[in-house]
Structure 1
Amino acid sequence: MVMPSQEVRVDGCLLRYADSGGEGTPIVFTHGAGADHHMFDAQYDRLAMSGHRVVVWDMRGHGASRPNGESFTGERAHQDLLALIEHLRLFKPVLAGHSLGGNLSQAAVRRSPGSYRALIVMGSTWNTGPLTATERFLLKLAAPSLALVPESRLPLLMARASAVTSAAREDAVRAFAQMSKPRFIEVWKATVGFVTPEPSYRTPLPLCLIRGSADETGNIATAMPRWAAAEGISEHVIPGAGHLVSQDAPEAVTAVIERFVSTLPRV
């Protein structure tokens, strides 16, 4: 299990991270809402062994990144990501994100494409993609629906909705139990805030899209194929995996990432 033994203080929060070091391609992994860096344990170990410089971190209020003195917002998360990259002096890292982490990574690339060399998105919706009236309605309904769930039931409910394998579900319960329901709803609202449709936008960097075939969260199963078609690439659908694709099928996801990163030009 990867331990975030390193830290950097950023605006009221001690952000904790793990950095494999080395001279290889830097890849920064950002986890999903309510999760933490452990969702990338398998990817960290394998990619570091392959010579890449791998960084995983806990967003503020998640995992070991506490205390958190500020509300969680999309802008705050973006500034934290930039602060971590600057602290580590990473030159044009690959951004790899799951769910909220994928939304954040998309937003970072959209804002400053010249700062990164590629984008990997796992189990995340398309930030700039068009939304149907039904999708807009469901986005607005999500936070009020979560508010109705008893706090004691939320970790197990989210784990069952997110993962297929028992190991991934068990770890999801552990991660979600670390966060209060009000804070999780705050984080969820920040996630939704990244969805800002601009159908003509295209990712100006090499792009890799990964999702589980059994992912039924949000509109990912319909949005990611549309996104891949718009970008003129093929998405990677991992058989039998759910939303927590990096944990439900760690070897398959790592193999996709390794192949993708191997095709990137040197910078």
Structure 2
Amino acid sequence: MMQEHRFLTSMGPIHYWTSPRIPDAPTLVFLPGLGSTHYMFSRQIAWFMKHGVNCLVWDAPSHGVSRPFDLQWSIDDTARWLHTILQQEHITEPVLVGQSMGGFTAQAMIRLYPGEVRAFVGIDSAPLERQYYSNMDLKIMHLQRVFYRFVPRWFRLFAGPYGVSTTKYGRSVARFMLFEYTHPQFVHLMGHGYDTIAHAIKADNRYALTCPTLLLCGDMDLADAAQRLNRQWSETEHLQLHWIPSAGHNSNTDQPDLTNELITNFLDDQCGIHLK
């Protein structure tokens, strides 16, 4: 059973959940993507808890129950808050598992706190370095607020899950998470989220992934050129990339068993973490 905690910031509360602490066991930190909540990782957490791994998952700022929260945060802010939470929980050398925008928070933490992250798993995420994006890519990100404003809530709840998932279970999780938000809340969250991504990319920082890294991407992922970006990221940085068959943008909910297997093998082969 996961225990809920509340971390207060000057902008609002951050809610996160931890598994019962197992001394000397590694910790996986699960970071959901933009608009998603901790429910996204339910099947990963159940699997890894069963196999003797400590788990932490959050509702990112302005997401799920981590509200009300001022929409003024940057990706670096989320990384700093995460780092403080991990310090409070006495978690060292975490393995960060970030889906989509959660992968951006992970990359920011690796950059801001070099040597503190044991490994990184990016699920349907993307690089944050400027070299991967055209000026048009960045302009499109800044226009997302306008796009979401004109998508009715009923249509988003019906069609949105089909855009990120290929399975009945994955779509049910996506729809459940979307119900968290009113139409104005979702529009503002998505608009701010894409703006912060664009600002982070334009800052032109170097995000050197100095820890073991695994990239996972659904082979039917249609979100924001994720397939192209993961392919380029893997080739440029010489990172291990696995395609998740018959999976969309939320590939860990479309193929939870395969996702768990690939992460388990990565931990064993690259990190010296052997599950019970």
**TM-score normalised over the length of structure 1:** 0.89
Which residue identity does 1:260 align to in structure 2? F
Write the deviation string for residues 131-169 of structure 1: whole angstroms up to 9, x where unpaired. 235434433433332222234433334322111112211
Q: Is the 8 A contact 1:122 1:209 kept in 2?
A: yes
- Residues in 2 aligned to 1:257 and 1:30: alpha-carbon distance in whole angstroms: 15
- Residues in 2 aligned to 1:199 and 1:59: alpha-carbon distance in whole angstroms: 22
Q: More deviation in 59-68 or 49-58?
A: 59-68
Partner of 1:159: 161
- Residues in 1 aligned to 2:151 and 2:169: alpha-carbon distance in whole angstroms: 24
What's the offset of the Cα at 1:93? Answer: 0.8
Write the deviation string for residues 225-261 of structure 1: whole angstroms up to 9, x where unpaired. 1111112233110000000011011011111111111
Q: Is the 8 A contact 1:7 1:14 kept in 2?
A: yes
Q: More deviation in 187-196 or 104-113?
A: 187-196
Which residue identity does 1:8 align to in structure 2? F
- Residues in 2 aligned to 1:96 and 1:14: alpha-carbon distance in whole angstroms: 22
Q: Is the 8 A contact 2:128 2:207 kept in 1?
A: no
| Aligned residue pair count | 265
SS in 2 for 1:89: coil
Seen in structure 2, the aligned counterparts of structure 1 residues 70 and 186 have a Cα distance that, compared at 3 Å, is closer
- Residues in 1 aligned to 2:272 and 2:11: alpha-carbon distance in whole angstroms: 38
What's the offset of the Cα at 1:200? Answer: 7.4
What's the offset of the Cα at 1:199? Answer: 9.6
SS in 1 for 2:143: helix
Seen in structure 2, the aligned counterparts of structure 1 residues 201 and 10 have a Cα distance that, compared at 3 Å, is closer
Partner of 2:4: 5
| % same residue | 22
Partner of 1:172: 174
- Residues in 1 aligned to 2:16 and 2:3: alpha-carbon distance in whole angstroms: 4
Q: Which runs of 5+ in 1 are unaligned?
A: none
- Residues in 2 aligned to 1:8 and 1:192: alpha-carbon distance in whole angstroms: 27
Q: Is the 8 A contact 2:142 2:194 kept in 1?
A: no
Give the alignment's Cα RMSD to 1 decimal. Answer: 2.3
Partner of 1:132: 134
- Residues in 1 aligned to 2:56 and 2:149: alpha-carbon distance in whole angstroms: 33
Q: Which runs of 5+ in 2 are unaligned?
A: none
Which residue identity does 1:264 align to in structure 2? C
**TM-score normalised over the length of structure 2:** 0.87
Q: More deviation in 156-165 or 219-228?
A: 156-165
